Amino acid sequence: MSLLSNSKNKIEKLASRFSEDIAIDLGTANSLVYVRGRGIVIAEPSVVAVNQKTGQILAIGSEAKEMVGRTPAHIVATRPLVSGVVSNFEVTEQMLRYFIEKAQKKKFLFGPRPRIIIGIPCGVTEVEKKSVQDAAVNAGARKVFLIEQPMAAAIGAKLAVQEAVGNFIVDIGGGTTEVAVISLGGIVIAKSLRIAGDKLNNDIIQFSEREYKLLIGERTAEEVKTTIGSAYPSKEKKQLPLRGRNLITGLPEELTISDEAARRAMEKSIKQIINNIKTTIEETPPELLADIMKRGIYLAGGGSLLRGLDTLITKETKMPAVIVDDPLTAVVRGAGKVLENLDDLQEVLVETDYLEPPR
């Protein structure tokens, strides 16, 4: 039995030398791909355009996002992940295959398949974990490992996750906000809130309908959020033209929205994120909390770039909030670091039986 095990280990080590192993931040809004030894090679929207008449996939990533809201009725540009969880298995598999094939430089006809590490939200069910693993194996993975997104973000931010100190990380993505306290290579407390960037966009759309009787699209809402959106008032006042369809007359209309109005639109959702952070602080063991008070709260993910959010969190929690370097890529950089040091960082992976493709 030991001979068989040794033989398998030798084959695996040999395969690992030649395979282009991959780390993927499979996000609700955007997906990023890291290749071992090369760094981040892909950053594209998690969007797939499907012909509903034939079931044929027409475009994936940036090309598919360009089609959103601009296609005939039978062509639908869809996101196969909802709140970081697979909602359409077949489309997710196709999207993963596209990313894997695009990322691989060496096209070995009979070469080893890559090992893949995928970031997932905290608190997903075993069924949801398995659906991600199955999709990756079917898309061409040799082995699939899972890592929780806040853990990956903390590693990407170069926090001392393996030491006996408290690390507080808030990862605000497109579909979920992950709040976690990490110490000794494990997550001590974690909360996953399905309020993040997409919800803020939706808040702006609903606000526009309610306050201005103006129907706007998701792209316009995203532009409002990123251009003039804020979580905390600032001296600099901003405005943006808002174009859409008047719900009463049915005709196109343009008006101006201020940063104060955009902040009011997102206020309720931002408050829920803050409350989640406060609840996590209340549940943190005192010794770890003492560390966090000195080290601060680290913010990652695209949502952390909302103007004034770090200031608001600092004001509400009485602790410094720090946006990590390059917050958009923190998760995939962390997963990539685990990929490069798999033997040393094995403990940070989600405990699950990794899947291998059927023989």
Annotated binding site for ATP: 28-30, 174-176, 222-225, 302-305
Helix (H, G, I), strand (E, B) or coil at 127: helix
- 77/59 Cα distance (integer angstroms): 9
Instruction: Please report, in range form, the residues annotated as the binding site.
Output: 28-30, 174-176, 222-225, 302-305
The H helix count followed by the E strand count for the chain is 11, 18
Of 57, 51, 91, which is closest to residue 74 (Cα–Cα)?
Answer: 51
Pairing of strands 321-323, 297-300: parallel
- C-alpha 50, offset from chain centre: 23
Amino acid identity, residue 178?
A: E
What sign for the dihedral angle of Cα 228, 200, 92, 171? positive
Within 8 A by CB and 6+ apart from 1, the residues are none
- 122/127 Cα distance (integer angstroms): 14
Give first-to-last CA distance, the chain, whole Å. Answer: 20
- 197/112 Cα distance (integer angstroms): 38
Token output for 213: 């009787």
3-state secondary structure string, 302-322? HHHHCECHHHHHHHHHCCCEE
